[in-house]
Amino acid sequence: MASAQGFRLPWLVRGDIDGFFGLIVDNLVQLLVVSGLLTGIYGMPAEIVYGVIFPGAAVSLLFGNAFYTFQARRLARREGREDVCALPYGINTPSMYAFTFFIIAPVWAANCDRLGDADAARLAWHVCLAAGFLSGVLELSGAAIGAWVRRVTPRPALLATLAGIAISLISMPFVIHMFSRPLLCFLPLAIILACYFGRLRLPFGLPGGFAAVAAGAALAWLGGLMDPEAVRSSLAGIGLHPPRLMAGEVLGDLDLRVLVNSLPIIVPMGLINAMGTLQNIESAEAAGDSYPVASTMSVNGLGSIVGALFGNCFPTTVYIGHPGWKALGARSGYSLLNGAVITLLCLSGALGVLVSLVPPEAAYPILLYIGLVICSQAFSAADKRHFPAVCVGLVPGIAAWGLMLVGFSLTAATGGRFDLSIAETFRSMLDFDLQGLMNLAGGFLFSAMFLTAITVYFIENDFYRVILWSLAAAAFAFFGLIHSGTIVAGQFTDRVAVGAAWRFSLGYLMIAAMAGVFMLQRTRGNNRNEEKGRSNA
């Protein structure tokens, strides 16, 4: 380790440019999805989305990215190394979908006849703001026990969960888009494979990420896939949109009964955000960068709180992907650059201009690379004996992706008017157990961790820990935090309630009982061996 004395740390290195292009595309995709859902489906006025929510998101993103940049630079100076990579940070994707479909959608639908679309959308936004604030408070509270949870959880249980998300929810959606436009995406994909996996250098020392995005944009314009009129119209939206403090307006207009009805969504998502942060901290340490749990989780929670106070109703979080960004050569500058550019785009209204110039498909190969690196890490950082446990941990995330596809298909086919009877239709006509898929996907961040940990300790013949993890899983299932998939108002969700998944609780208790039998059997065998040894003596 180099001495920290006289150590000079650059603010920006070549790899930061590659990391910046990947991370900003990920953040921009989330913002575009938010815009499409809120304005296109739920009738939220554009002045709220572009004038309040996006500027509030900019405050949160700049706050978090600045801290994690500072955190990485502090670690680099303390250890005297230049290869420290900052934790990536952005809008939390699972929370974004959960809050949109299970808070904004039902509140809007229940009030649009009485208030009209615009006012119902405003009420739904206020409820979602309070939900985002409470989610941040839950994660902030989790910082107190985060280090303990990380100590008692085996590394494969944390990393396999992220690997499942990386393959299913990060890589696969973008791979599908790539294979729908091969003439646009295959050249950027080849550049990424050559530069990032093959370690080849491009002419003039161009960063691979920049070259991939530039090549994709050029192909899109040459192929007539872009709309010049969209560029001209997007330029009209440029203007100053400063962030506004919204706490007073929200508190004065908030219906507490509506908020209480949303707690079954808010509480699990807050817990999932906290657990996801722990998993990302573990992933970063496996890649060589050890960050403190308490401050990382605290700032993660504070970012959501600050964003909610300024109008952003979607929690922000430490992103999955640190090993991938580090493998690109990104250090700390990519994080600060991402926060600064996102802030500029959101506050100036220039987000639409960028989207009209560069197709998002041009950067999808970068996100595929990130997913592959994360999945590879789950195996490379695990003992070979634990590979089966890592594979077990991939399954719930894949199920969540499958359920998402089924949900989108059913929503498109029925307009969101389907209920639990559809599960029996699937079973009778397709021999496909939709209820089983819902249960497997329900609370998948937790269930993947539990199932992986149980498998790890069976491999280790550590039956005492098998019992403890099985009991924890039984408790989570009993309250519906895992395995409680159902359908409410034409949307897949989890039924968080006492006894919600009691059958799974009994199943995990059976696993614990079996482990207890094995433990007792081994104890008796050891006692017999000791008695035999004494008699022989």
Instruction: Report if residue 537 sits inside a domain.
Output: no
Over the Cα atoms of the chain, what is R_g? 24
Residue 295 within a domain: yes
Query: Of 382, 397, 416, which residue constitutes the final position of a domain?
Result: 382
Buried b (16+ CB within 10 A) or exposed e, 367-396: bbbbbbbbbebbbebbeeebeebbbbbbbb
Long-range CB contacts (< 8 A, 24+ apart) of 414-421?
414/490, 415/490, 416/489, 416/490, 416/491, 417/490, 418/487, 418/490, 419/487, 419/490, 420/486, 420/487
Specify the pLDDT at position 250. Answer: 59
Do 338 and 394 reside in the same domain of the chain? Answer: no
Query: Which of residues 317, 351, 382 is at a domain's end?
Result: 382
Quick check: 303 and 319 in contact, CB under 8 A?
no
4, 8, 31, 325, 364 from 84: Cα distances, Å: 13, 13, 28, 11, 25
> What is the three-class DSSP state of 318?
strand
Compute the distance between CA of residue 395 and CA of residue 443 in angstroms, rounded to an integer.
Answer: 12
Q: Would 211 be classed as within a structural domain?
A: yes
Instruction: List the chain pLDDT tens, one digit each, 537 residues.
Output: 444 555 688 898 988 988 887 788 777 767 766 776 677 667 778 778 888 888 999 999 999 999 999 999 999 999 989 999 999 998 877 677 667 776 787 778 777 777 777 788 888 888 888 888 888 888 888 787 777 877 788 888 877 877 887 788 778 877 888 899 999 999 999 998 898 788 788 887 777 777 888 899 899 999 998 888 878 877 877 888 888 888 766 565 566 666 666 665 677 667 767 877 888 898 899 889 999 988 998 999 999 999 989 989 888 888 877 888 898 889 999 999 999 999 998 898 787 777 778 887 887 887 788 778 778 878 887 889 999 999 999 999 899 889 988 988 888 888 778 888 888 888 888 788 999 999 999 888 789 989 999 999 999 999 999 999 999 999 999 999 899 988 887 878 888 889 999 999 999 999 999 999 999 998 888 777 777 777 766
pLDDT, residue 502, reads: 95
Residue 1 lies in a domain: no
Same domain? For 329 and 406 the reply is no
The domain total for the chain is: 2
Q: Are residues 341 and 451 in the same domain?
A: no
Query: Exposed/middle/buried for 186, CB within 10 Å: 0-12, 13-18, 19+?
Result: middle
Q: Dump pLDDT digits (tens) for 336-392.
A: 999 999 999 889 878 777 777 888 788 788 778 877 877 887 888 788 999 999 999
Q: Is 149 found in the same domain as 271?
A: yes
Q: Is residue 27 part of a domain?
A: yes
Distances (CA, A) of 406 to 28, 98, 412: 25, 16, 10
In a domain, 60, yes or no: yes
* Residue-level pLDDT at 83: 92
DSSP per-residue string spanning 20-87: HHHHHHHHHHHHHHHHHHHHHTS---HHHIIIIIHHHHHHHHHHHHHHHHHHHHHHHHHHT-S---PP
158: three-class secondary structure by DSSP: helix
Instruction: Answer yes or no: do 191 and 264 share one domain.
Output: yes
152 and 296 co-located in one domain: yes
Backbone φ and ψ of 186, nearest 5°: -70, -35
How far apart (Å, rounded) are the C-alpha atoms in residues 129 and 294? Answer: 25
Q: Do 48 and 115 sit in the same domain of this protein?
A: yes
Which pLDDT belongs to residue 501?
94
CA-to-CA separations, 95 to 102, 165, 276, 400, in angstroms, rounded: 10, 14, 11, 14
Q: Is 120 exposed, middle or buried (0-12, 13-18, 19+ CB in 10 A)?
A: buried
pLDDT value at residue 33: 65
| Token output for 28 | 């921009």
Considering the domain architecture, whether residues 119 and 256 belong to the same structural domain is answered as: yes
DSSP 8-state secondary structure symbol assigned to residue 102? I
Residue 528, in any domain of the structure? no
Whether 370 and 324 have beta carbons less than 8 Å apart is answered as: yes
Instruction: List C-alpha distances in Å: 15 to 149, 312, 339.
Output: 33, 31, 17
Residues 442 and 370 in one domain: no
Tokens of 251: 């508190």
Q: What is the dihedral sign for C-alpha 367, 37, 177, 394? A: positive
Pair 374, 391 in one domain? no
78, 5 contact by CB (below 8 A):
no
Together in a domain, 363 and 404: no
Indicate if the alpha-carbon torsion angle 63, 7, 83, 294 is positive or negative: negative
Q: Encoding tokens for residue 531? A: 């008695």
Mean pLDDT, the chain, whole residue set: 84
Residue 488: give the domain boundaries: 383-523
Helix axes 293-309, 54-79, angle to 10 degrees: 160
Contact 37, 93 (CB under 8 A): no
Instruction: Look at residues 357, 382, 407 and tell me which one is the last residue of a structural domain.
Output: 382
CA distance 372 to 361: 17
Q: Which residue bears the tokens 């791979």?
A: 175
Residues 408 and 507 in one domain: yes
Give the CB-side neighbour count of residue 340, counting CA atoms within 13 A: 8
Contact 108, 122 (CB under 8 A): no
In a domain, 531, yes or no: no
Residue with tokens 């649009």: 112
Tokens (6 digits) for 511? 């696993």
Cα separation, 363 vs 208, in Å, equals 11
Q: What pLDDT does residue 3 have?
A: 47
